[in-house]
Amino acid sequence: MARKSTPRTTSFPPPPPVDSKETSLAGQVLIAMPSMGDERFAHSVIYMCAHSKDGAMGIVVNRPLAQPSFEDLLRQLKIDPVPPARDIRLCSGGPVETGRGFVLHSADWTDPASLKVDGTLALTASLDILKAIATGGGPEKGILALGYAGWGPGQLDSEIQQNAWLSAPPDLGVIFDSEHDTKWRRALAVLHVDPLMLSGTAGRA
């Protein structure tokens, strides 16, 4: 990383409230279209944690990080044991607040600070989840993201209307496995979409 940064895993920005009268993409996956103009999101796959008229938040799941390792992170945060009993992969979760850590994980483990996106997945940014994983416990599946993807009010909806994104149901393999080079294509495959056949006319699935 360009600068040594200790992710602050004690809290994360409160998600935008969901308006039940609106269609929310929380719990869905966003897939960048080939026409995506922002290079930071080219071929990105994003699990959406919150979406409402007030904005949206998600975690990019196909940008792996080689450094720091989970063990290095535990040392920085002075969390035992080191080396940990379990490991967890790190990824770049998005361009917003890249010095903060967020664990996207299966909902078989949660704490009071967890954001329960649906009955399957949750988002946690407390030190407790890192301690649980380090000692061999915690959720069955998880990735540790540094940063997140965020949109202001109406911004994501506008981008979808401009054909920058497709949305799809989540595939746990795509979200949590280590085959990062194929995640974009596999996310499209959930929609039975061939990337070679995509045009600039597609919109929300």
Domain CATH for 134: 3.40.1740.10
- Is it the case that residue 88 has pLDDT exceeding 80? yes
| pTM for the structure as a whole | 0.86
| pLDDT at position 35 | 86
State what percent of residues in the chain have pLDDT above 90.
79
Q: What is the mean pLDDT of the chain?
A: 87
Q: What are phi and psi of 135, to 5 degrees?
A: -90, 5
Number of domains in the chain: 1
Q: Does residue 112 form part of some domain?
A: yes
Confidence tier at 73 by pLDDT (50, 70, 90): very high
Q: Does residue 98 form part of some domain?
A: yes
149 exposed, middle or buried (CB, 10 Å; 0-12, 13-18, 19+)?
buried
What's the pLDDT tens digit per position in 189-204?
Answer: 999 988 877 754 444 4
Print the domain residue range for 131: 29-195
Q: Does residue 17 form part of some domain?
A: no
- Is it the case that residue 205 has pLDDT exceeding 90? no
Q: Does residue 51 form part of some domain?
A: yes
Q: Which whole-number Å values give the CA distances from 24 to 27, 41, 52, 114, 134, in the listed order? A: 8, 21, 6, 19, 34
Q: Does residue 12 form part of some domain?
A: no
Q: Does residue 170 form part of some domain?
A: yes
What's the pLDDT tens digit per position in 90-106?
Answer: 999 999 999 999 999 99
Q: Does residue 92 form part of some domain?
A: yes
Q: Does residue 14 form part of some domain?
A: no
What's the pLDDT tens digit per position in 133-175?
Answer: 999 999 999 999 999 999 999 999 999 999 999 999 999 999 9
| pLDDT at position 141 | 97
